[in-house]
Amino acid sequence: MTFEQFAVARLPNLLRYAVVLTGDRDLAQDVVQEVLARAQVKWRRISGSDSPDAYVRRMVLNEYLSWRRSWAFRNVHAAGERLAEIDDARGGVHDHAQSVVDSDALWNRLATLGRKQRAVLVLRYYEELDDETIGDLLNCSPATVRSQASKALRTLRLEERQAEQDQRIHAEEWS
């Protein structure tokens, strides 16, 4: 397969993956563009690997985690609409308006996580990878992956409880 064939075939999936990681379509496009530019130069070696797709996806993950993109975590934009579009493509959405609200709330909570914790959750729940594979991608042990996932989920649960309490207080003020 030529690089051009690969890029045309995999671009939509790479962009969706990058949007979920970054939370920002524009940043995701920048990440994917940067990765594809580097992949084109190395295509002979990449195409000879066991899985060129996995190789390029790892490049996207590394670019997201790199220090050059650290400003992205601090500048994540609400992405409920974009996540709803991804859910639509997967066939999982029934009430579009509610899914946008739910996705936006979830995305805002995900944006508060550190980059590695967020990457662990994306790789586990969006990419549906096991802890050993995630550990290989992030250069850490499966136990560290489980620990990061546990801490991230605990943080999300605490933030959800706080949001529910805030809603109850707000509702009581209006009654």
More confident residue, 96 or 108: 108
Pairwise CA distance, residues 32 & 57, whole Å: 9
Indicate the domain borders of the chain.
113-175
The angle at the Cα of 18, spanning 85 to 86, to the nearest 5 degrees, equals: 15
Rounded to 10°, the helix 80-90/96-110 angle is: 120
Fold of 113-175: Arc Repressor Mutant, subunit A (1.10.10)
Quick one: pLDDT band at residue 109, thresholds 50, 70, 90? confident
Q: What is the mean pLDDT of the chain?
A: 81
pLDDT in tens, 14-66: 999 998 888 888 889 999 999 999 999 999 999 999 999 999 999 999 998 88
pTM: 0.64
